[in-house]
């Protein structure tokens, strides 16, 4: 499967694996342990699939929701929820993925429990650091991706121009033609 990575950091892309969060039926992109494995590899967190099980999938999606709660609190200017802080801190304290340098570059090896530790560490740095001011939610009404706005003028509106930006521009064009 091909996953999407429009958000600027694996932690936010991981949050985006539950799409259209405000819709009556959000779209879950990690429905099986195999999809979690493929996400780990496609995101670059691991070089090969770790062989996740159902418990790994439950733990990973729980971490995803904790990350989303922290990011949502930062976006809204609210205090960080203690339960989410504890969940992310617990995962960040786990054993990290092992990186190895080889003749063809680097490789990243670990278990399905180690890859989320890297996501949790990145979340701690992002939410508590200077990048927290760069957090934005996609401007498309049906999208709930959160991204880091690293654009020059800090005026990026969409998670990805080729998807949400294109849809918004096409809708604006149709509205102008009707009007």
In the chain, the percentage of residues whose pLDDT exceeds 70 is 92
On average, the pLDDT of the chain sits at 90
pLDDT of residue 1: 57
Q: What is the pLDDT of residue 156?
A: 73
33: tokens are 């342990």
Displacement of CA 165 from its chain's centroid (Å): 19
* % residues pLDDT > 90 (the chain): 65
In the chain, where are the structural domains located? 10-132
pLDDT along the chain (179 residues), means of 10: 78 93 92 97 95 97 98 96 98 95 92 95 95 87 85 76 67 75
The tens digit of pLDDT for each residue in 124-147 reads: 999 999 889 999 988 777 788 898
| pLDDT score, position 6 | 77
User: For residues 67 and 94, what is the distance between their CA atoms, to the nearest angstrom?
Assistant: 16
Secondary structure (DSSP) of 54-83? HHHHHHHHHHHHHHHHHHHHHHHTPPPPHH
Helices 82-92 and 54-76 pack at an angle, to 10 degrees, of 130
pLDDT at 112: 94
What pLDDT, on the 0 to 100 scale, is given for residue 141? Answer: 77
């Amino acid at each position: 499967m091909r996953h999407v990575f429009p958000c600027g950091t694996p932690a936010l892309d991981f949050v985006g694996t539950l799409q259209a969060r405000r819709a009556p039926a959000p779209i879950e992109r990690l429905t099986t342990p195999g999809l979690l494995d493929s996400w780990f590899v496609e995101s670059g967190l691991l070089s090969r699939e770790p062989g996740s099980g159902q418990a790994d999938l439950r733990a990973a999606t729980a971490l995803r929701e904790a990350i989303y709660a922290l990011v949502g609190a930062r976006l809204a200017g609210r205090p960080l929820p203690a339960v989410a802080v504890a969940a992310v801190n617990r995962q960040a304290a786990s054993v990290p993925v092992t990186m190895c340098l080889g003749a063809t570059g680097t490789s990243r090896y670990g278990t399905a429990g180690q890859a989320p530790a890297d996501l949790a560490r990145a979340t701690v740095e992002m939410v508590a650091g200077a990048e927290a001011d760069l957090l934005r939610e996609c401007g498309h009404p049906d999208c709930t991706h959160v991204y880091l706005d690293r654009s020059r003028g800090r005026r990026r509106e969409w998670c990805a121009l080729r998807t949400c930006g294109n849809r918004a521009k096409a809708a604006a064009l149709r509205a102008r033609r009707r009007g």
